[in-house]
Structure 1
Amino acid sequence: MAAEMIIVNAREEPPDGWDAAVFLAGPAPRSPEVPSWRPAAHAELRERWRGGRLVVFDPEDRKEVLFDYAGQVDWEERCLNLADEVLFYVPRDLETMPAFTTNVEWGIWHDSGRVVFGAPPGAPKNRYLLHYAEKFGVPTATDLPGTVAATLDRIGSGAARTGGECEVPLLLWRTAAFQSWYGAQRAAGNALLGARVVWRFGDQWGLRVRIRVAAEDRIKDDEMVISRPDLGVVVLYRPGPTLDATTVVLVREFRGPAATPDGRVHEPPGGSGPAGGADPLRAALAELAEETGLALPADRLREHGSRQVNATMSAHRAHVFAAEITEDELAALSSGGPHGVAADGERTYVEIATFGEIRRERLVDWAALGMIAEVLTESGIGEG
């Protein structure tokens, strides 16, 4: 697709689709005699853009029109949320371009994960903004070409989106978790009509969505989709004469959301650490070694498929694996610890319990109980 750039000025309606969208945030001149920096930004973007359709949201008026303050504020809020990247350029001049509103916008967006900050070295009163740019790893530049280049570098070639898809920024659109969820919705014939990022923390996010439910011919508003990277989980067990007498390996760890008598979670070892990347088996093996100290070769694990863990709220899945362990391995697991990645504040302890104890003493949550039951019943333990 040939490169195309569309400029959407203040209070104008955006097109129905694009590959990337940029909002030009920064001060506007207080009088017509003072030149704006935004035309030069248009030229830089047009020269450097190599993707498909790029939409540029410019909060300055295209021509002299009757100013509508409330309409302007609403338009800016809408288009800031539509943008894949918010390009902040702050050539502040306290007389002609004081950038008071820009300071507020920066305070809202600086930790969103989709901003770039630029300012000439001599522009005053930017120290505080630059401090937070450094703190949150925001790319910075000292001139407009560098700011534009940093913005487009983050966008890359973008991704084609139409309709409600345009309300999902590239930051989320490119994640495996979003694509897995959205792929399932599309396969069911449902259509995304709107979305708004509510929060983002690292690789976890919450999205408020509006969806047309094809099977029911209705629109469902204000659905909340929460997600994180998929989990790789390992159920280690030592068969007993019955299902309830089968030994299972758990890990105990403090987690803030735990509402258990001891304030900690009890579950099979697993997680989604960076060692796993997009490979659930690799993640499962890495988490097993980190949380229990037991390193197993990949061929020791059996795959039991994947399911959502809490489908009423979170889109992520748990990929469950299992391994039958030896008496020696069980004995080794019973000693030592704690385990975990200390640098990440992770501290785990191995727990050994029979399946009967896990059920009767309610040691695990329903999701973990289901994973364990699936593995043990599929393994044929207690049959005949």
Structure 2
Amino acid sequence: MESDIALVYAREEPPRRWDAAVFLAGPTPRSPGVASWRPDAVAEIRRRWRGPGRLAVFVPEDRHGRYPDYTGQVEWEERCLHMSDEVIFWVPREPATLPAFTTNVEWGMWHDSGRAVFGAPPEAPGNRYLLHYAAKHGVPAAEDLAGTVAAALDRIGAGASRTGGEREVPLLLWRDEVFQTWYAGQRDAGNVLLGARAVFRFGVCWGLHVRVHVAAEGRAKENEIVIGRPDVSAVVLHRRRAALDETEVVLVREFRSPCAAGFVRELPGGSGAGGPVRRALAEVAEETGLALAPERLRAHGARQPNATMSAHRAHLFSAEVTGEELERLRASGPHGVAADGERTYVEVLPYGRIRRERLVDWANLGMITEVLLDAG
């Protein structure tokens, strides 16, 4: 069966559904005597695409070979670049006929996006700087057009079916577990994703600007930002006293850039490999030096710690510690994972002081209070 490939030329409207989308970025001929490289790229895509669904290919040239005056061209390219799962840069630069000045600008915008591949013939001049940044940011690179196309399609794999506003969520975010958890909640509420734009991606964190039709209100909500990161586990280590305010709680203090004072006090916790329990035990060991058996943990459920902005959840656990453990914790430290630049200091403080002196943020105070007021 012939592959389902939808070619979308300059200023044409993209299809309403696809499983993957690529943009053919690179120099464009400006006169009839200069041949375009893009027909060969399209032929190579047709030869290699084996996905079960539709692949949209954005071709920023006029379908009928005309040379546009750029009316609407820049806006169309910007829109389609953001909708693409992979941006295929092929730069057969020729200073006289294919100078690729615009390509240099686009490369600067997309080289660190996580969805660009770069290719250029070895003899093409003026690409050393571009290749430097391809290597620096781990961008797949090739010296022929076939290898460049293959690098993009290999990362796409089978793609994922998306329609409407879903098309504007690139695969590298669509496949993210936190995004899918957030989006499942939106769908369960009857809401519709009208549009999206990835605004940043840094390591395992990402930001998405979304437009959503809110079913319960019958309106579209604009200008919403969703930040995603892996779920975290947090543990309230405590030793109960007769009075609630005297109950002692184990905190870790470490430098965190967003904190106005530089150092923040928080519960032992974080994200990492494994399920919530495994993460909880690992974080306690790394940040306090205390090795806990799994059966000592009590689960208190999961909630979003900042539901107005971040989609991730905090899985809350607690464990009562002995007097001996408390003394060892007071005398221990510093801790942390040196390879990650993490350095934590253990502090054991009474709940009343934590609350009165505003020693933790609202999210941590809420988690501590939830545990200490839960007498079950």
What is the CA–CA distance in structure 2 between the aligned matches of 1:129 and 1:185, rounded to whole Å? 40
Q: 1:367 aligns with which of 349, 352, 363?
A: 363
Alignment of 1:289-304 (within 5 A): 289-304=285-300
Aligned to 2:10: 10
Aligned to 1:246: 247
1:69 partner SS = coil
2:367 partner SS = helix
Aligned-pair CA distance for 1:242? 2.4
Aligned to 1:339: 335
Aligned to 1:79: 80
Aligned to 1:186: 187
Once the two structures are overlaid, the 10-residue window that deviates more, 305-314 or 30-39, is 30-39
What is the CA–CA distance in structure 2 between the aligned matches of 1:221 and 1:325, rounded to whole Å? 48
Aligned-pair CA distance for 1:180? 1.1
Q: Structure 1, residues 128-151: CA drift from partner, whole Å, max 9, x if none?
A: 001111111111111111111110
Cα 1:11–1:228 shift into 2, 3 Å:
same
1:111 partner SS = coil
Aligned to 1:287: 283
Contact 2:288 2:345 in 1 (8 A): yes
What is the CA–CA distance in structure 1 between the aligned matches of 2:277 and 2:88, rounded to whole Å? 39
Q: Does 1:119 align with 2:115?
A: no
Aligned-pair CA distance for 1:66? 6.8
What is the CA–CA distance in structure 2 between the aligned matches of 1:95 and 1:246, rounded to whole Å? 77
Gapped runs of 5+ residues in structure 2?
none
1:215 partner SS = coil
Aligned to 2:149: 148
What is the CA–CA distance in structure 2 between the aligned matches of 1:178 and 1:299, rounded to whole Å? 31
Gapped runs of 5+ residues in structure 1?
none
Aligned to 2:163: 162
Residue identity in the other structure for 2:4: E
Alignment of 1:1-384 (within 5 A): 3-51=3-51, 52-65=53-66, 67-259=68-260, 262-273=261-272, 276-277=273-274, 279-380=275-376
Residue identity in the other structure for 1:46: R
Aligned-pair CA distance for 1:2? 7.6
Identity of aligned residues (%): 69
2:22 partner SS = strand
Aligned-pair CA distance for 1:163? 0.1
1:78 partner SS = helix
Contact 2:30 2:67 in 1 (8 A): no
Q: Structure 1, residues 186-220: CA drift from partner, whole Å, max 9, x if none?
A: 11110000111112211111111111000000111
Contact 2:239 2:247 in 1 (8 A): yes
What is the CA–CA distance in structure 2 between the aligned matches of 1:147 and 1:284, rounded to whole Å? 42
The two structures, once aligned, show a CA RMSD in angstroms of 1.5
Q: Structure 1, residues 79-113: CA drift from partner, whole Å, max 9, x if none?
A: 00000110111111111211110000000111111
1:45 partner SS = helix
Residue identity in the other structure for 1:331: E
Q: Structure 1, residues 6-60: CA drift from partner, whole Å, max 9, x if none?
A: 1101111100011100001011123323222111111111121121110000101
Contact 2:200 2:206 in 1 (8 A): yes
Q: Structure 1, residues 270-293: CA drift from partner, whole Å, max 9, x if none?
A: 1113xx25x222222222211111
What is the CA–CA distance in structure 2 between the aligned matches of 1:212 and 1:109, rounded to whole Å? 29
TM-score if structure 1 supplies the norm length? 0.94
Aligned-pair CA distance for 1:356? 1.4
What is the CA–CA distance in structure 1 between the aligned matches of 2:154 and 2:277, rounded to whole Å? 32
1:226 partner SS = strand
Residue identity in the other structure for 1:200: R
**Deviating runs (4+, > 4 A) in structure 1?**
none
Cα 1:2–1:224 shift into 2, 3 Å:
farther
What is the CA–CA distance in structure 1 between the aligned matches of 2:42 and 2:329, rounded to whole Å? 62
What is the CA–CA distance in structure 2 between the aligned matches of 1:140 and 1:327, rounded to whole Å? 59
Aligned-pair CA distance for 1:294? 1.5
Aligned length: 375
What is the CA–CA distance in structure 2 between the aligned matches of 1:71 and 1:264, rounded to whole Å? 50
Once the two structures are overlaid, the 10-residue window that deviates more, 9-18 or 28-37, is 28-37
1:233 partner SS = strand
Cα 1:235–1:221 shift into 2, 3 Å:
same
Aligned-pair CA distance for 1:264? 1.3
What is the CA–CA distance in structure 2 between the aligned matches of 1:168 and 1:68, rounded to whole Å? 30
Q: Structure 1, residues 322-350: CA drift from partner, whole Å, max 9, x if none?
A: 11112222122111211112222211100
What is the CA–CA distance in structure 2 between the aligned matches of 1:2 and 1:292, rounded to whole Å? 59
Residue identity in the other structure for 1:310: N
Residue identity in the other structure for 1:18: W
What is the CA–CA distance in structure 1 between the aligned matches of 2:8 and 2:15, rounded to whole Å? 9
2:300 partner SS = strand
Residue identity in the other structure for 2:302: S
Cα 1:287–1:121 shift into 2, 3 Å:
same
1:282 partner SS = helix
